[in-house]
Amino acid sequence: MAIPSGARYRIGGVEFAVVNDGTYMYDAGAIFGVVPRVMWERVAPPLDDRYRIPLGLNCLLLRSRGKTILIETGVGGKPGDRDAATPAEQGTLLTSLAALGVTPEEIDVVVNTHLHADHCGWNTSADGELLTPTFPNATYVINSAEWQDATHPNERTRATYLARNLDPIADRLTLADGELAITDEVIFAPAPGHTEGHSTVVVRSGQEWGVYLGDMAQHRAQLERTPWVSGLDVLPLVSMETKKRLMDECIEAGALVMFCHGPYPGVGRMTRTPEGFRKWEDVAPLAHEHAEGDDHAHSHSHPHGQEHA
C-alpha cells in the first residue's frame, strides 16, 4: 500500500505539498519527558510492544520566486537510517517527490530545522561506501550554532548527530546566524529550545502566514499544553517560552501550522476554546483541481483530527 503523500496547501500566493518520509516509531516516555504517564496516555496513540508511538515525518516541498525548496529530509535511506522499519514504511521521501514529478536535481534549497537524524537523513545518499549529497544542485540552509553542535557531538547527542548526514554537504552550506530570508516569502527563523540552534520556517504571502515547526513538539498535546515540554529538548524552559510565544501568535493570526511529527499531513491551526485552552484543529488539503471524477482513494475529511479517539 502506498503511503499518503502530496497533500497540497496554499498560504497566500505560495503553494506547497506535504511530502512524506513515512512513520517513525519513538519511545513515548522520552517524548513526554517529565509529564506523568497517567496524564499523557489519555491523549497519546496506543504504544507498540516497545513502548513507542508513531510519529509522522512530514516534509514540505515549496515553490517561491522561482526556487524549489525542500524543508526537512526525514530519516533517509542509507544503511542504518531506517531504524529497522521496512523501506515501504520509512525513507520514502524520494518516492514521494517522484510522485509529484520532482527530481532531486530540481531542488535548489534544502532547509533543515536542526540536524537530529530524523530530520536530515535524506541530506545524503549512499552508493556503496560513497556518500554524496542527495540533492546535487542544492544549497543546504542550517543554523550555524546547530551546525557547530552537530559536527561536535557530545555523549548525549552522538547517537543522533550523524557524520554521514553532514560531512558530504559541508561545502554546500548556507549557515544562518539568526533570521535568513530564503526568498522574501520564506524565512528561516530561530526557535531555540529543542536544541540551541533549532529553527522554524515561516512562509508569508499577502496577509497570510504559516510556520513549519520542526521539532518544537512531537505530539499535538505539547502544542496545546505549554508545560508539556518534550524530554528530548536540551533547553526545556527556553523551549516552553518559544512555544508559548509562537502558539499564541499563531492563534491570534489564524496562521497555518505545519507539524513535522503529527500524523500525515500534519497541517492545522491553533485555536482557543471558549474556556481559554489552546487547541489544535486539523486543516484538510486543497481539493484536487484536476480530479477525474475518481477521488475515492483520497480521504480528506478529518475535520477534528479524531485519530486518537
Residues that bind Zn ion (CB under 5 A): 116, 118, 215
CA 71 to each of CA 3, 38, 155, 277, 296: distance values in angstroms, whole numbers, following the listed order: 19, 35, 28, 30, 29
Instruction: Identify which of residues 185 and 262 has a Cβ nearer to Zn ion in the complex.
Output: 262
Instruction: Identify which of residues 16 and 24 has a Cβ nearer to Zn ion in the complex.
Output: 24
Q: Which residue is nearest to Zn ion (CB)?
A: 116
Instruction: Identify which of residues 102 and 115 has a Cβ nearer to Zn ion in the complex.
Output: 115
Instruction: Identify which of residues 102 and 190 has a Cβ nearer to Zn ion in the complex.
Output: 190
Smallest distance, Zn ion to C-beta of residue 251, A: 24
Smallest distance, Zn ion to C-beta of residue 55, A: 7
Smallest distance, Zn ion to C-beta of residue 31, A: 10
Smallest distance, Zn ion to C-beta of residue 154, A: 15
Smallest distance, Zn ion to C-beta of residue 236, A: 13
Smallest distance, Zn ion to C-beta of residue 214, A: 7
Instruction: Identify which of residues 14 and 28 has a Cβ nearer to Zn ion in the complex.
Output: 28
Instruction: Identify which of residues 180 and 213 has a Cβ nearer to Zn ion in the complex.
Output: 213
